[in-house]
């Protein structure tokens, strides 16, 4: 069977940790979209692994697969694999022949387009700068290079000879930058041919659809791991402040070659963070005090002194600071401070519908501990009407006024002990909060995350 893991909000909901917990029963863990923009941290005892491309299951002896819906930077892939090998892990990673390849010119163009958008107004998405958007653009424009092409010198050369002069002209003539080797066919051909040889020598390139089908037919468990989250999905997210792929569950089909009936017979689990965080620009109705340069119109005030430890945060700025520090809300890939906000139920209702969740996992319940009260955006008011889900344009979303519900907070606990004892050991106020979320979405709680380690996860249901 399959279990699909989907981010319900803006990414960084703690998917890696839950893939790790449930992944024990999986034989194969597959990523179906995104590239090395997806930072995931896996904690194993005292060891911490920060990965951006390699599926997290690969550090636990599972077969890790990058599906055709992914965009692959071979340099990142081999750097991560080599670093894991140096730490004594032998990851078994396969890559779809149909996945698209990120080239250095994609990364350069990602940066210059962001600069241009920022000069034109507030259009930049604050991307991770990994070349993700430009690579998906070439995929849709039918001028991309796929992983399978790296194994075939003639095709690789022909593709590069077509596309590279176009990229050079775009960079030089449209954006006016001086180009270097990132825009020259010969060095790119040599470097990427070498990656192709290594992929081939290590037997990494597969036809993912049939590879997974065979695994399922053979009784194996397949976990499909979405990166990023529903609200930064290119179709269902807050366009244009989105990533360029489909983290929603439909992406698990198109991004692997498994049929919707196969994915739909399994479980689809939405990962929820108990509050919101995001990197990037654009509106965020439940945002607490913002991050300069990312929150439209936000300028930090001179006071309060946020460097001091805050006992009971009072102002929005103090609350944002408290949650950011407690939750470690800094980008895994970029190190950027994330914007934070209260849980947004219309966002979650939208996510639950778009992916058809069969269960949810609520993470970071420990992060909110110590606050006297916790707020949740229950619904929006737009043009005098109450909305329970997100409006389809981002501009209208930004006009929504939030109707909050307030919940009593909970104290710090020995969270590992709570996780050990189970759901009923959670403070009653935390359970009230969790059950409200579950009831509103009409989806059962499968697990609750109360810390970063796998031993700090309360598991209520095991999907495999
Ligand atoms: P890109 O995916 O690098 O093109 O960035 C597009 C938008 O998605 C930006 O707002 C990024 O901050 C956001 N984004 C990309 N990857 C992640 C992630 O793994 N977690 C959270 N946000 C992400």
Cα 155 to ligand 1 centre (Å): 31
Per-residue pLDDT tens digits for 304-339: 556 556 677 878 888 998 999 999 998 776 788 899
For atom 1 of ligand 1, which residue has the closest CA? 127
Per-residue pLDDT tens digits for 189-222: 999 999 999 999 999 999 999 999 999 999 999 9
Q: Quick check: 145 and 188 in contact, CB under 8 A?
A: no
Radius of gyration of the chain (CA): 22
Helix (H, G, I), strand (E, B) or coil at 98: coil
How far is Cα 163 from Cα 168, in angstroms, rounded to an integer?
9
How far is Cα 255 from Cα 351, in angstroms, rounded to an integer?
19
Per-residue pLDDT for 42 more than 90?
no
> What pLDDT shows up at residue 304?
56
Cα 452 to ligand 1 centre (Å): 21
For atom 19 of ligand 1, which residue has the closest CA? 38
Give, in order, the Cα–Cα distances in Å from 359 to each of 267, 269, 274, 345. Answer: 8, 5, 15, 16
DSSP 457: E
Find out whether the beta carbon of 136 lies less than 6 Å from any atom of ligand 1. no
Neighbours of 462 (CB within 10 A): 12
Per-residue pLDDT tens digits for 18-35: 888 998 899 999 999 999
Band the pLDDT of 119: cuts 50, 70, 90: confident
Q: Which stretches within 68-224 are classed as H helix?
A: 74-86, 104-120, 132-140, 153-169, 185-201, 208-217
In testing the pocket of ligand 1, which one of 112, 243, 245, 278 has its CB within 8 Å of the most ligand atoms? 243
> What pLDDT shows up at residue 103?
98
Residues 6+ apart with CB under 8 A from 6: 226, 229, 230, 247, 248, 249, 268, 269, 270, 271, 351, 355, 357
Secondary structure tally for the chain: helices H, strands E: 14, 19
Cα 412 to ligand 1 centre (Å): 31
**Among 159-163, 275-279, 332-336, 460-464, which is the least confidently predicted range?**
332-336
Pairing state of beta strands 40-44 and 457-459?
Answer: unpaired
Residues 6+ apart with CB under 8 A from 214: none
Half-sphere exposure of 419 (CA within 13 A, CB side): 21
Nearest ligand 1 atom to the CA of 128 is 3
Q: Quick check: 441 and 360 in contact, CB under 8 A?
A: yes
Band the pLDDT of 41: cuts 50, 70, 90: confident
> What pLDDT shows up at residue 294?
79
The pair of three-digit structure tokens given for residue 116, joined into one six-digit string: 């241009």
Q: Give mean pLDDT, residues 77-104.
A: 96
Band the pLDDT of 303: cuts 50, 70, 90: low
Query: Helices 132-140 and 104-120, interaxial angle, to 10°?
Result: 100
Cα 79 to ligand 1 centre (Å): 21
**Could you give the percent of the chain with pLDDT greater than 70?**
97
Mean pLDDT of the chain: 93
**Among 304-313, 351-360, 450-459, which is the least confidently predicted range?**
304-313
How far is Cα 202 from Cα 339, in angstroms, rounded to an integer?
41
Find out whether the beta carbon of 11 lies less than 6 Å from any atom of ligand 1. yes
Find out whether the beta carbon of 126 lies less than 6 Å from any atom of ligand 1. yes
Q: Give mean pLDDT, residues 123-136.
A: 89
| Secondary element (H or E) of residue 428 | helix 428-441
Band the pLDDT of 458: cuts 50, 70, 90: very high
Catalytic residues: 12, 40
Q: Give mean pLDDT, residues 400-409.
A: 97
Find out whether the beta carbon of 228 lies less than 6 Å from any atom of ligand 1. yes
Find out whether the beta carbon of 73 lies less than 6 Å from any atom of ligand 1. no
DSSP 460: S
- Can you say how many angstroms the Cα of residue 177 is from the centroid of all Cα atoms in its chain? 31
Band the pLDDT of 292: cuts 50, 70, 90: confident
Find out whether the beta carbon of 128 lies less than 6 Å from any atom of ligand 1. yes
Burial label for 344, CB within 10 Å (0-12, 13-18, 19+), is buried
Helix (H, G, I), strand (E, B) or coil at 197: helix
- Looking at per-residue pLDDT, the higher value among 334 and 13 belongs to 13
Cα 33 to ligand 1 centre (Å): 12
Half-sphere exposure of 249 (CA within 13 A, CB side): 29
Q: Quick check: 145 and 79 in contact, CB under 8 A?
A: no
In terms of Cα–Cα distance, which of 395, 457, 58 is closest to 271?
457
Find out whether the beta carbon of 243 lies less than 6 Å from any atom of ligand 1. yes
Per-residue pLDDT tens digits for 130-170: 999 999 999 999 999 999 999 999 999 999 999 999 999 99
In terms of Cα–Cα distance, which of 379, 460, 443 is closest to 8?
443
φ and ψ of 374, to 5 deg = -125, 135
**Among 263-267, 270-274, 311-315, 360-364, which is the least confidently predicted range?**
311-315
Q: Give mean pLDDT, residues 101-105.
A: 98
**Could you give the percent of the chain with pLDDT greater than 90?**
79
Residues 6+ apart with CB under 8 A from 401: 285, 380, 381, 382
| Secondary element (H or E) of residue 416 | helix 415-421
φ and ψ of 4, to 5 deg = -110, 130
Find out whether the beta carbon of 352 lies less than 6 Å from any atom of ligand 1. no
Band the pLDDT of 384: cuts 50, 70, 90: very high
In testing the pocket of ligand 1, which one of 14, 129, 228 has its CB within 8 Å of the most ligand atoms? 228
Band the pLDDT of 116: cuts 50, 70, 90: confident
Half-sphere exposure of 371 (CA within 13 A, CB side): 27
Question: Please, what's the b/e burial string for 275-309 (b: 16 or more CB within 10 A of its CB; e: otherwise)?
Answer: bbbbbbbbbbbbbbbbbeebbeeeeeeeeeebeee
């Amino acid at each position: 069977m399959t279990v699909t893991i989907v981010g319900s909000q803006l990414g960084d909901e703690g998917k890696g940790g839950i893939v790790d917990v449930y992944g024990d029963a999986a034989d194969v863990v597959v990523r179906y979209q995104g590239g090395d923009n997806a930072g995931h941290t896996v904690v194993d005892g005292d060891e911490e692994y920060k990965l951006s491309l390699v599926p997290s299951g690969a550090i636990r002896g599972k077969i890790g697969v990058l599906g055709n819906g992914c965009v692959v930077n071979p340099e990142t892939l081999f750097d991560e694999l080599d670093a894991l090998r140096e730490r004594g892990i032998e990851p078994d990673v396969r890559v779809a022949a149909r996945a698209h390849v990120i080239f250095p010119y994609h990364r350069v163009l990602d940066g210059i387009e962001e600069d241009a958008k920022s000069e034109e107004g507030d259009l930049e998405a604050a991307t991770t700068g990994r070349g993700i958007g430009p690579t998906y653009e070439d995929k849709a424009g039918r001028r991309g290079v796929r992983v399978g092409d790296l194994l075939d010198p003639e095709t690789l050369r022909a593709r590069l000879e077509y596309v590279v002069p176009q990229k050079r002209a775009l960079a030089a003539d449209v954006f006016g930058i001086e180009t270097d080797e990132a825009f020259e066919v010969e060095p790119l051909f040599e470097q990427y041919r070498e990656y192709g040889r290594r992929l081939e020598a290590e037997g990494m390139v597969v036809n993912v659809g049939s590879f997974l089908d065979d695994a399922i037919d053979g009784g194996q468990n397949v976990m499909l791991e979405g990166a990023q989250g529903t609200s930064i999905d290119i179709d269902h997210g807050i366009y244009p402040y989105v990533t360029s792929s489909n983290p929603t569950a439909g992406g698990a089909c198109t991004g692997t070659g498994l049929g919707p009936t196969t994915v739909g017979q399994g479980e689809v689990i939405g990962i929820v963070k108990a509050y919101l965080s995001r990197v990037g620009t654009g509106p965020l109705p439940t945002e607490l005090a913002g991050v300069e340069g990312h929150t439209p119109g936000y300028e930090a005030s001179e006071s309060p002194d946020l460097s001091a430890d805050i006992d009971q945060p009072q102002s929005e700025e103090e609350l944002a600071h408290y949650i950011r520090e407690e939750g470690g809300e800094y980008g895994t890939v970029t190190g950027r401070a994330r914007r934070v906000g209260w849980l947004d139920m219309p966002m979650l209702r939208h996510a639950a519908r778009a992916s058809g969740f069969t269960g949810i996992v609520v993470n970071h319940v420990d992060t909110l501990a110590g606050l006297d009260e916790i707020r949740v955006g229950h619904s929006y008011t737009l043009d005098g009407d109450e909305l329970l889900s997100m409006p389809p344009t981002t501009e209208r979303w930004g006009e929504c006024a939030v109707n909050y519900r307030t919940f009593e907070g909970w104290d710090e606990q020995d969270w590992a002990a709570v996780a050990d004892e189970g759901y009923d050991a959670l403070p009653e106020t935390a359970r009230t909060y969790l059950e409200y979320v579950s009831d509103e979405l009409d989806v059962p709680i499968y697990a609750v995350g109360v810390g970063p380690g796998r031993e700090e996860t309360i598991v209520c249901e095991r999907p495999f």
